[in-house]
Copies of this chain bind each other. A is one copy, B any other.
């Protein structure tokens, strides 16, 4: 199994980016049938989880720059999968899933789980934990460093 590894890079950033590229390609391939990009599914997952939430809160959860987020949300709204409402503070935009968005999200579930499984079965159990738990620590650390 370790024979399949790519060479270790000295740079932590390069290591992360390389892994992100490789894993993204795997997920995009599985998600292709859904018509959703990884970035879009990630946003639907975040909204499913958070319910109605301000745009800025989505950006913090995903460590996404506000401008990137702004442009990624737009096509989801155009497709009718998410809906914007205005809060008391009228600068603020709150987003929530529409019924169509929930359906779309449900239809993407099986392909997403195939991607998760495809990767997971290739890894030792502790590496899965690394991905989903320890990287949450790393992301938080980098944000505040």
Contacts and interface: CB of A to CB of B under 8 A. Distances in A.
Interface of A: 1-2, 4-27, 38-39, 41-42, 45, 60-65, 112, 115-116, 118-123, 127-128, 130-145
12 contacts: A1-B137, A4-B140, A4-B143, A5-B139, A5-B141, A6-B60, A6-B140, A13-B26, A17-B38, A18-B139, A25-B142, A26-B142
Interface residues of A, dominant DSSP: helix
A34 B4 CA distance: 35
A136 B15 contact: yes
A38 B14 contact: yes
Given A23-B142, A143-B6, A15 B131 contact: yes
Given A42-B11, A115-B13, A119-B12, A130 B134 contact: yes
Given A4-B140, A4-B144, A5-B137, A16 B122 contact: no
